[in-house]
Amino acid sequence: MAETIKVVPLTCHGHSRPVTHLSFSSVGDDDQYYLISACKDNNPMLRDGVTGDWIGTFIGHKGAVWQARLSSDATLAATAAADFSAKVWDTHSGVALHTLQHAHIVRAVAFPNQPSPQILATGGAEKKLRIFDLSRSSGSPSPTGSAPSTTDTSSAAPSYEIGAGVHQGTIKSIVWASDLNVLITASDDKSIRWWDLRARSPITTYTLDGLPGSCELDPVFAGSPTLGSAGSSTLSVAAGKTAYFFDSSRPGELIKSIKTPYELVSTALHSSQRKFITGSTSDTWVRVWDFDTEEVVETGKGHHGPVWSVAFSPDGKLYATGSEDGTIKLWKFTAGGYGLWR
């Protein structure tokens, strides 16, 4: 790890307001993967995950976009926004395939981990966890001659609610577990819940020490050891001054919680390196921690506002940070050359 310290990060410009969320796709052909960013400027952006190069902007939301995710094969994107809607986009054309109306601000979206998924989970200030069936939309999108960035051929899709009345606070994040029948939610009632989609009820609930900032599934790297059960990913949660790490395949099973001196809003774990990164409202730095000693081993400086979102790339060789200052930075996390650091 010594070789990765103090390398200059790549800075990705384009957003005009705070970046609220970042998410990577899985690794595809030719070791290619993609990065999507949500921003309060209403315009989520798609980038090359290795270089940070801008690919396109999804135009259509009328309010701040709080969360954005890609399907595992990066063919679809989903966004959650303050205009009371979630949208599903074709990443090749930029066309909005579905506009899913809600009664309040949408804060969270999640696809199952499968190519070209046909269902989407949403949540937000309605305090409702909803599942939309994208295969049964009320109308079929029809391409037009207009530019994709200004064309909305979206159609609605039917939905059903999971666990009516259970959430007592805004749903801030949704994660689809490796078991497609299990969903995980983080909400402002200071709870992480694991849901059985067949029974439409919670399996278990874990109470946090503070309001959740981020709740994300960390990537699993081929051939690398994991911290939980064999081959399973870790669920990383930032809440209050604590970073929590759960075994994603065993509902409610906490691997470790680590208290810090900082008010955390984002965290992500690299299980094979046994290191995790955090962003906080306390300052503008991103910190790399040793999972075992619980000490800071590296500090990334360069942002000019709190770091709201952090995420490791699917190959574990870099991590991305999104800040209040409207920029995204990519930081190398491997020995030797990689991407534009070659």
Q: What is the DSSP letter of 325?
A: T
Burial (0-12, 13-18, 19+ Cβ within 10 Å), 339 = middle
- Considering the chain, what is the average pLDDT of its residues? 90
CB contact set of 239 (below 8 Å; sequence gap of 6+) = 186, 190, 208, 209, 210, 211, 212, 213, 264
Entry pTM: 0.91
pLDDT at 231: 67
Residue where the block lists tokens 């470790």? 256
**3 state DSSP class of 307:** strand
pLDDT at 31: 85
Q: What is the DSSP letter of 134?
A: G
pLDDT at 342: 83
- Going by pLDDT thresholds of 50, 70 and 90, the confidence category of residue 1 is very low
Q: pLDDT, tens digit, for every residue of 282-337? A: 999 999 999 999 999 999 999 999 999 999 999 999 999 999 999 999 999 998 89
Is a pLDDT exceeding 50 seen at residue 148? Answer: no
Burial (0-12, 13-18, 19+ Cβ within 10 Å), 129 = buried
Is a pLDDT exceeding 80 seen at residue 230? Answer: no
Q: pLDDT, tens digit, for every residue of 107-121? A: 999 999 988 899 999
Question: Using CA atoms, how far apart are residues 37 and 338, in angstroms rounded to an integer?
Answer: 22
Is a pLDDT exceeding 50 seen at residue 13? Answer: yes
pLDDT at 138: 56
Domains, the chain, ordered by start = 7-341 (2.130.10.10)
